[in-house]
């Protein structure tokens, strides 16, 4: 589940002694698991997720205001929907058949499958990979495919949890990004190294904020409290939107690196 709240439960994790990247040992193809994924709670947060994606696209817009846009791991299509509203020629790709159906029910151009795909052709001015790379068995392979599909003048966006952040170090195994679905854990050094390895260069790094219903945050906060301190989550608190930035995610804008010859 995308909205899995079993914080601290992961597969066995291993740290590279050379670069420090942390990755789970996975024996099966995880794409097949995502093909069957259904997560109504994820779709219930459509408004907040749309706001979050709008803020990311506003940053992109200051660099590239028009053109073809591809969203990898598009979910129900919130980012694609916002991109279309902003004037981009946008499409997405998503492995979950159920989430692809949600997108198509809203007439959003989201392909069912994993990237790269025969359904996604040509080059793009903008490619977004928001909260996806941590779910991927071969993140460098995915970034290499992105590099092949990004125009030389294009711009990419990747957002990942930061295992090196102060909050992650403070909470240790109880950090909310330690969950079964997350199989790769980046910090600033390793995400930049992965981009560099496939010929992509950093343009900008930021700590993005997220937007949640207040009720969602209260329910998740309860999981950190001892039983006698846990409270009932009143329904009247469910819809107000809260902006939250704990500085434990990384947003990196990137471009194809300029090659030089001597």
Q: CATH number of the domain that 126 lies in?
A: 3.40.50.150
Contacts of 171 (CB under 8 A, 6+ apart): none
Query: What's the number of domains the chain is made of?
Result: 1
Residue recorded with tokens 């020629």: 89
Other C-beta atoms within 10 Å of 80: how many? Answer: 27
What pLDDT was estimated at residue 7?
A: 83
pTM confidence score:
0.92
Q: Measure the N-to-C terminal CA separation of the chain; round to a whole number of Å.
A: 50
Indicate whether 237 belongs to any domain.
Answer: yes
The SS3 assignment for 248 reads coil
C-alpha 162/C-alpha 139 separation (Å) is 15
The one-character DSSP state at 162 is: B
| Rounded average pLDDT per 10-residue block, the chain, 262 residues | 82 93 91 93 90 98 98 98 98 98 98 97 98 96 98 98 96 92 96 98 96 76 63 60 93 86 38
- Asked whether residue 220 is assigned to any structural domain, the reply reads yes
Residue 1, domain member (yes or no): no
Let me know if residue 3 belongs to a domain: no
Q: Which domain holds residue 52?
A: 13-256
Instruction: Tell me whether residue 238 is in a domain.
Output: yes
Residue 5 lies in a domain: no
Q: How far is CA 201 from the centre of its chain?
A: 19
Q: Output the DSSP codes for 55-77.
A: HHHHHHHTT--SSEEEEES-TTS
Residue 262 lies in a domain: no
Residue 227: what pLDDT?
Answer: 63
């Amino acid at each position: 589940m995308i909205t899995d709240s079993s914080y601290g439960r992961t597969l066995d994790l291993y740290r590279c002694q050379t670069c420090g990247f942390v990755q789970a040992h996975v024996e099966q193809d995880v794409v097949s698991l995502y093909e069957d994924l259904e997560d109504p709670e994820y779709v219930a947060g459509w408004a907040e997720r749309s706001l979050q994606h709008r803020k990311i696209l506003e940053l992109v817009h200051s660099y590239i205001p028009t053109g073809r846009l591809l969203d990898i791991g598009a979910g129900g299509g919130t980012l694609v929907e916002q991109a279309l509203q902003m004037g981009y020629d946008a499409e997405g790709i998503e492995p979950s058949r159920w989430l692809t159906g949600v997108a198509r029910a809203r007439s959003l151009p989201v392909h069912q499958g994993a990237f790269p795909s025969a359904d996604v052709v040509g080059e793009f001015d903008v490619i977004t990979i928001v909260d996806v790379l941590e779910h991927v068995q071969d993140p460098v392979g995915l970034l290499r495919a992105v590099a092949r599909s990004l125009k030389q003048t294009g711009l990419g966006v990747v957002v990942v949890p930061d295992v090196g952040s102060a909050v992650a170090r403070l909470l240790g195994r109880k950090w909310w990004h330690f969950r079964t679905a997350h199989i790769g854990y980046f910090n600033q050094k390793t995400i930049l190294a992965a981009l560099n390895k496939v010929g992509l260069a950093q343009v900008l790094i930021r700590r993005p904020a997220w937007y949640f219903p207040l009720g969602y945050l209260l329910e998740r906060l309860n999981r950190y409290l001892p039983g006698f301190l846990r409270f009932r989550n009143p329904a009247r608190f469910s819809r107000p939107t809260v902006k939250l930035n704990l500085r434990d995610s990384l947003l990196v804008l990137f471009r194809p690196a300029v090659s030089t010859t001597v």
